[in-house]
């Protein structure tokens, strides 16, 4: 059984429902910005860098 967490509660007025959806959108945007700012650089440094070096060595030989 699924539940739509972004659906505003029925007891809110029309303006309240709009504000609820705006709050959900802003919260999501802030969370994604924080993820992009804090987590993605760590992934790039500790996962993508070593992985690209390993793949490069496998296919093109080690750098001299």
Residue pLDDT, tens place only, 1-58: 577 777 888 899 999 999 999 999 999 999 999 999 999 999 888 888 888 888 888 8
Task: Look at the pTM and tell me if it is higher than 0.75.
Answer: no
Q: Quick one: which of 4, 8, 30, 31 has its CA closest to 20?
A: 8
The domain limits of the chain are 14-64
Distance between terminal CA atoms of the chain?
Answer: 57
**Which residue in 21, 39, 20 sits closest to 31, CA to CA?**
39
């Amino acid at each position: 059984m699924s539940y739509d967490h972004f659906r505003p509660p029925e007891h809110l007025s029309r303006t309240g429902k709009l504000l609820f959806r705006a709050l959900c959108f802003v919260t999501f945007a802030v969370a994604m910005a924080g993820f992009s700012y804090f987590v993605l650089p760590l992934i790039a440094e500790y996962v993508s860098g070593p992985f690209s070096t390993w793949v490069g060595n496998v296919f093109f030989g080690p750098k001299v």
